[in-house]
A and B are shown apart, each in its own frame.
Chain A
Amino acid sequence: MPATFDIKSANLSLVALQLKSDRLKDVVAELAGEFGPKGSAPDFFDQDAVVVDFGLQPHVHSRTELQALSRALTSCRLRPVAYRQAMPQQAAVAHELGWVLADEEPQKPRAAAPAPQTVEVVREVEVVREVVQEVVREVPGPATLVLDKPLRSGQRVYARGADLLVLAMVNPGAEVAADGHIHVYAPLRGKAMAGASGNAAARIFALSMEPELVAIAGVYRTSEHALAPDVQGKPAQVRLSQDGQDKLIFEPLKA
């Protein structure tokens, strides 16, 4: 046994960029528009590691093309580290860039898709195959993000590893997401996603519950079917049932 270190198995959560088009130029442009420094959500990522999923596309991108993609990801505050589902020639090019081969996504015991409505391309995956079966999640700390200004259609906020407290209305078309709880001391009319990275104990509170969509740890409900009359437009909370059924429970807040 070496005295100065141990080698242990570890696993890492990352986001995946699933390519839906083989035109990398378009991907680069759309990435910049969405998450780039001048995009609509420049702070969405925080130097997160990302795996590029080629989805077994037959098209082989050149080294320059992949480099351009890599630069685009970096400017979106993402760190490309791995690739998967690549054809063999593509794999060779990706290797040259120093990306490692990631395994296929293992079947997870529990749905923990973070914020499915936020971005289509984001998906969580473990790269290194597990030896230990337990999945260690970052526990959201006591941090809280407080917003005083109204969130209007098209705006979105994500409280990473924190609770989110909004003191003004969240309008239709706006999105709030948090790894912890979400409190809205005003009408909640947009989308709210609590426990975005899988915390099933997260809750959503609003002074007037009229959301387009609520989700907790990936379990969601849209406004297609009206909420119960004692909840709709009233002070209420949403939580996930803890009986393993993963049902969203809407309850009025009783003062």
Chain B
Amino acid sequence: MARIIVVTSGKGGVGKTTTSASFATGLAMRGHKTAVIDFDVGLRNLDLIMGCERRVVYDFINVIQGEANLNQALIKDKQVEQLYVLAASQTRDKDALTQEGVERVLTDLGNMGFEYIVCDSPAGIETGALMAMHFADDALVVTNPEVSSVRDSDRILGMLSSKTRRAMTGAEPIKEHLLITRYNPLRVNQGQMLSLQDIQDILRIPLIGVIPESEAVLQASNQGVPAVHMEGSDVAEAYKDVIDRFMGQEKPLRFTEPPKQSLLKRLFGGR
């Protein structure tokens, strides 16, 4: 059976799709056959971030409704072996996502030998988000260091523990991982952002990583390259750490302290 990971947050714009793309890519780079599915029906973004938007012929909804088979709809990534993308439909309504349909697709992917299936959840707590989390084994809860994002993540955690298959059947609960994105230690120290401790004090689930705020993410998105490919950037390193921790390795947190500034920079007021 494939391990199903939902990337979710409640709030929009916190970095779910960026994380889904980098996380799935990172898993595939380590040789695991991985599929990443965009559940944001009607607002597809994942294919843009993955740089395969021109190759989308059939999408997730087509497969659910039996208009195409999985082999036709899965888009093979050009950079990483073992990585496949299932795009969302731009034109359909979110009601096209049915629980039976989603289950069938996930089972079929498992039968095709996929080890990991990453579900990129839409924002909100509507059908799409519920479908994305329903069959999950693991959840990456993406949270920004600000109050409303933490509140929404809390709401999502409540739903993970009550509205998913594992919760409803009384199976072992979904493994929850907190991923903090857009973290800027300098601004935390200045009191403009919540600190790691503040966030964990509310959410109280294990932290899997901290992704620093970085311009590399925007650059990567616009080029259609998952941020984990931005060699040498903090973001790529942080995502690789996340994968390592997901695989069970112990890794110290990085990028959570402000960079030491040189005397000259301090004198001349560089950023």
Q: Which residue of A lies closest to B202 (CB)?
A: A171
Contacts of A98 in B (CB 8 A): none
Instruction: Convert A134-174 into 0s and 1s, putting 1 for each residue whose CB lies closer than 8 angstroms to a CB of B.
Output: 00000000000000011111110000000000000101111
> 13 extra interchain contacts, Cβ-Cβ under 8 A, other than A152-B155, A154-B155?
A152-B154, A152-B157, A153-B152, A153-B155, A154-B125, A154-B158, A154-B159, A171-B202, A173-B151, A173-B154, A173-B155, A174-B158, A189-B202
Given the known A-B contacts A155-B158, A155-B162, are A150 and B204 also in contact in the complex, defined by CB atoms under 8 Å?
Answer: yes
Q: Please tell me if B161 contacts chain A, counting CB pairs below 8 Å.
A: yes
How far does the alpha carbon of A189 sit from the alpha carbon of B202 in the complex, in Å?
9
Instruction: Convert B118-158 into 0s and 1s, putting 1 for each residue whose CB lies closer than 8 angstroms to a CB of A.
Output: 00000001000000000000000000000000011011011
Contact of B202 among A151, A154, A172 (CB under 8 A): A172
Chain B interface (Cβ within 8 Å of chain A)? 125, 151-152, 154-155, 157-159, 161-162, 202, 204
Q: Which residue of B lies closest to A169 (CB)?
A: B204
Q: Which residue of A lies closest to B173 (CB)?
A: A149
* Distance to closest chain B CB from A184 (angstroms): 14
Let me know if A153 and B161 touch, CB within 8 A.
no
Let me know if B158 and A153 touch, CB within 8 A.
yes
How far does the alpha carbon of A173 sit from the alpha carbon of B162 in the complex, in Å?
16
Contact of A172 among B151, B157, B162, B204 (CB under 8 A): B151
How far does the alpha carbon of A174 sit from the alpha carbon of B151 in the complex, in Å?
10
Contacts of A151 in B (CB 8 A): 158
A-B contact pairs, 21 of them (CB 8 A): A149-B161, A150-B204, A151-B158, A152-B155, A152-B157, A152-B158, A153-B152, A153-B154, A153-B158, A154-B125, A154-B155, A154-B158, A154-B159, A155-B158, A169-B204, A171-B154, A172-B151, A172-B154, A172-B202, A173-B151, A173-B155
How far does the alpha carbon of A153 sit from the alpha carbon of B157 in the complex, in Å?
9
How far does the alpha carbon of A151 sit from the alpha carbon of B161 in the complex, in Å?
10
Q: Which residue of B lies closest to A155 (CB)?
A: B158
Contacts of A189 in B (CB 8 A): 202
* Distance to closest chain B CB from A210 (angstroms): 11
Contacts of B158 in A (CB 8 A): 151-155, 174
Q: Which residue of A lies closest to B158 (CB)?
A: A152
